[in-house]
Chains A and B, each alone.
Chain A
Amino acid sequence: MGNRTQLMDEMNRLRHDLLLMGTRVEESLRKAAEAMRTQDVELAREVKADDELVNALQLKIEDQAAMLIATQQPVARDLRELVAVFKATDNLERSGDHAVHLAKAVIKLAGEPPFRHIERLERMANSGCEMVRGAVGAFLARDAEEARRIAALDDEIDHEHKAVVDEALGFMRDHPEQIERANRIIKTAGFLERLGDHMTNLCEAVVYMVEGSHVELNE
């Protein structure tokens, strides 16, 4: 036996693709937030198109990871990383979907007067971007402490989520004729809140990969 060069090369390729996938999801979320702020429907449409690449990357990474399990018989740290890769791609893919949901809301709300809760949604999206970047970074650095720090950012998203919902409900009471529009804001905030949960899951996968134990972060 040598240094498992083939396995290491393939794992590096996998990590590279995971970084690419994370970057794409972060970009999509950033674009969707920008589209929301500027009411740019064209930019929002780009987010929908970009999601196909994220989905394709998920399948590519998972096929590659399955192939490595089948052919290289990884154990211990290598095996835990491959198991964590499946968790990571799953949660990144769902996060990409939530970026699309935000983009769709932008398209649906286009032409309507700017909504005052937009700033909170934007802050949620920005925190989401930070979580995506940080969680993928912690994965690649095999840094469990960093993963715990990133997972804690979910509190900020949850806080904004609660505030958006409270405000939107109040808006509904004051403007019953705008219930549908306020409801869309609540749903969109819910998607961003879920995105934070998915990135928390990814951080838990990092801890599992590094330490070999299952943890609940940010309960």
Chain B
Amino acid sequence: MTANSTTTRENPQGLDLAPEAPTLRTESLDAVKNDASDAPALDVRGLDIRYADGFHAVKGLAMSFPKRSVTAIIGPSGCGKSTALRAFNRMNELIPGTTTGGEVLFRGVNIYAPGVDPVQVRRWIGMVFQKPNPFPKTIYENIAWGARINGFQGDMDELVESSLVQVALWDEVKDKLKKSAYALSGGQQQRLCIARAIAVRPEIILMDEPTSALDPISTSKIEDLLDELKKRYTIIIVTHNMQQAGRVSDSTAFLLHGELVEYAPTKDLFFNPRDERTESYISGRFG
């Protein structure tokens, strides 16, 4: 589980990404929401990722993600898009033998710098997976558990309710909070997972094909939700579904063979892409 960062970087803001400071930051969501600086939410520089077998999955990726917007990453299978996404909150370290080079700057701090705790990174930069993966616990505990282990000491009922309201699930589950999360439909489970991710008040939510296991109606609910969530959070979504990228994202990045081919406002990329490879891919001529 090697994470080989090429650069060490000081932690100028004293951000609590270090293991000795595991408590949940109490910075209010409003403070984040009102953060008017136009610095990117995440700034990726020269990201290079290799798997244990030597496969060079991501090659020198450099891109920045604007705050409170949805960025879609598209590309054919094996292009490195999910690998890159996992690098944005150090999830690749869970894959033995993976090496990561370059920098991923979150609030000016390289999340790969020595002394940065990956658990804290994931607190600020959450992940929603392809298949809904609720804990084998009650609906209530699915939300409360993560907050509790992060040291949340406020009104847990309120946190559970506000998280479920934000994902438009509250009305559907408010009378069965003590029931198992497994009793929910797939679409509801996925919204619960998003609620769980936002309950720890992250700044960035990474989504890896979040609707590929869902039916069209559930998919539509998640897509509507993204439009709401981006008012508070920065969302980076990997999707195979190009129509979905077109519908939900503000910017789209096209990756091919581990390299960033084109990164542009979504309306431009889908209407008049600059690169012939992008044109071929989005119009379905390869992939």
What residues of chain B lie closer than 8 Å to A75, measured between beta carbons?
242, 246, 270-271, 282-283
A8–chain B nearest beta-carbon distance, Å: 9
Chain B's closest residue to A212 (CB) is B272
Asked if A70 CB lies within 8 Å of chain B CBs, one says no
What residues of chain B lie closer than 8 Å to A74, measured between beta carbons?
283
Asked if B286 CB lies within 8 Å of chain A CBs, one says yes
What residues of chain B lie closer than 8 Å to A2, measured between beta carbons?
285
Asked if B265 CB lies within 8 Å of chain A CBs, one says no
Asked if B250 CB lies within 8 Å of chain A CBs, one says no
Is B271 in contact with A4, judged by CB distance below 8 angstroms? no
Q: CA–CA, A76 to B242, complex, Å?
A: 12
Contact with B along A77-89 (1 / 0, CB 8 A): 1111000000000
Asked if B284 CB lies within 8 Å of chain A CBs, one says yes
Range, interface on chain A:
10 to 19
Residue in B243, B270, B271, B285 whose CB lies within 8 Å of A3: B285
Contact with B along A1-37 (1 / 0, CB 8 A): 1111001000000000000000000000000000000
Is B285 in contact with A79, judged by CB distance below 8 angstroms? no
Residue in A1, A3, A77 whose CB lies within 8 Å of B279: A77
Is A73 in contact with B243, judged by CB distance below 8 angstroms? yes
Asked if B97 CB lies within 8 Å of chain A CBs, one says no
Q: Using a CB-CB cutoff of 8 Å, which residues 50-73 of chain A contact chain B? A: 73
Q: CA–CA, A165 to B238, complex, Å?
A: 63
Asked if B96 CB lies within 8 Å of chain A CBs, one says no
Binding site for B on A (CB under 8 A): 1-4, 7, 73-80, 212
Q: Using a CB-CB cutoff of 8 Å, which residues 268-287 of chain B contact chain A? A: 270-273, 278-279, 282-287
A3–chain B nearest beta-carbon distance, Å: 6
What residues of chain B lie closer than 8 Å to A78, measured between beta carbons?
283
Q: CA–CA, A210 to B274, complex, Å?
A: 12
Instruction: Given contact pairs A3-B285, A76-B272, A212-B271, enumerate 6 new A-B contacts (beta carbons under 8 Å).
Output: A1-B284, A4-B283, A4-B285, A75-B246, A75-B283, A76-B271
Is B284 in contact with A4, judged by CB distance below 8 angstroms? yes
Residue of A1, A2, A79 contacting most chain B CB atoms (<10 Å): A1
Q: CA–CA, A213 to B253, complex, Å?
A: 22
What residues of chain A lie closer than 8 Å to B270, measured between beta carbons?
75-76
Kindly count the residue-residue contacts between A and B in the assembled complex, taking CB atoms under 8 Å apart: 34
What residues of chain B lie closer than 8 Å to A73, measured between beta carbons?
243
Residue in B243, B283, B286, B287 whose CB lies within 8 Å of A76: B283
Is A1 in contact with B286, judged by CB distance below 8 angstroms? yes
12 interchain pairs (CB within 8 A)? A1-B284, A2-B285, A3-B285, A4-B283, A75-B242, A75-B270, A75-B282, A76-B270, A76-B278, A77-B279, A77-B283, A79-B271
What residues of chain A lie closer than 8 Å to B285, measured between beta carbons?
1-4
What residues of chain A lie closer than 8 Å to B283, measured between beta carbons?
4, 74-78
Is A76 in contact with B284, judged by CB distance below 8 angstroms? no
Q: CA–CA, A71 to B224, complex, Å?
A: 23
B273–chain A nearest beta-carbon distance, Å: 6
A81–chain B nearest beta-carbon distance, Å: 11
Q: CA–CA, A1 to B240, complex, Å?
A: 12
Q: CA–CA, A77 to B272, complex, Å?
A: 7
What residues of chain A lie closer than 8 Å to B246, measured between beta carbons?
75
Q: CA–CA, A144 to B139, complex, Å?
A: 59
Chain B's closest residue to A211 (CB) is B272
What residues of chain B lie closer than 8 Å to A80, measured between beta carbons?
271-272
Is B287 in contact with A1, judged by CB distance below 8 angstroms? yes
What residues of chain A lie closer than 8 Å to B282, measured between beta carbons?
75-76
What residues of chain A lie closer than 8 Å to B243, measured between beta carbons?
73
5 tightest A-B contacts by CB?
A212-B272, A1-B284, A75-B270, A1-B287, A4-B284
A40–chain B nearest beta-carbon distance, Å: 48
Contact with A along B154-173 (1 / 0, CB 8 A): 00000000000000000000
Q: CA–CA, A80 to B270, complex, Å?
A: 10
Chain B's closest residue to A77 (CB) is B279
A83–chain B nearest beta-carbon distance, Å: 10
